[in-house]
Amino acid sequence: MLAVNGITKYYDGPNGIEDIHFSCQNGEAVAVIGPNGAGKSTLLRILAGVLKADAGSVTLDGCDMGAYESRRKIGYMPDQIELARGLTVKNFLYLVSDYKYGGQFKEELEQAVVTFGLAAYRNKAFHKLSMGNRKKTAMIAAFLGNPRLIILDEPTNGVDTSGIIALKQSIKAVRDSGSIVIVSSHILDFVSSISDHCMFLKDGKTAAVEKENKNLEERYRMLYLQ
């Protein structure tokens, strides 16, 4: 179980968050929705342990997710992905395997490269890839080893249809194995198809929670366009 209690992060400008509460059971997926500047990426970065909150706590199965040893339980795909020039797709994915899992799951990596349509790019430098193929590479890294918590920040941006199909299949597979998935996206049809419920953020606060995932466009319009 993931428990998020009172997460707060202040900035001098916008994009902070305040007093965010929610929980997820094993095998559930939650979508975080909101316009640019609503605080989505800040929240996801805190959940991933790459940003420290000013207040509140995040626990997974009762363990503090701020602890360094908890990082292996997390698969995180940030919205913006930058790697060292010259590092290839294969180099990067093998590095993740070596660093997080002592070299395990390399056969699974090779299969994932095929599934996500990256076989022809496995030896290509990451900085020479299209944005969509960078995203696919980061998706593979996030799902590697079936982490207990998988966090995907705008995973569909720039990704082709085959990549989105592979992403949906991967989300279903990890959910079936008991992993928790947190996804932010502007694509309402996508999030309604892969999540159990949606949390809408507005000005850094929870504006609404939609548990039926119906009429998401109408809810979005009411919250942000009126």
State residue 83's pLDDT score.
75
Q: Which residues contact 118 (CB under 8 A, 6 or more apart)?
A: 89, 133, 136, 137, 140
Q: Which CATH number fits domain 2-224: 3.30.70.330, 3.40.50.300, 3.40.630.40, 3.40.50.10860?
A: 3.40.50.300
The angle formed by the CA atoms of residues 148, 151 and 153, to the nearest 5 degrees, is 170
**Low-confidence winner among 48-57, 80-89, 90-99, 157-166 (lowest mean pLDDT):** 80-89
pLDDT, mean of residues 12-36: 92
How far, in whole angstroms, is CA 57 from its chain's centroid? 19
pLDDT, mean of residues 170-188: 96
Q: What is the pTM of this model?
A: 0.95
Neighbours of 207 (CB within 10 A): 17
C-alpha neighbours within 13 Å on the C-beta side of residue 146: 11
Domain locations along the chain: 2-224
Neighbours of 129 (CB within 10 A): 19
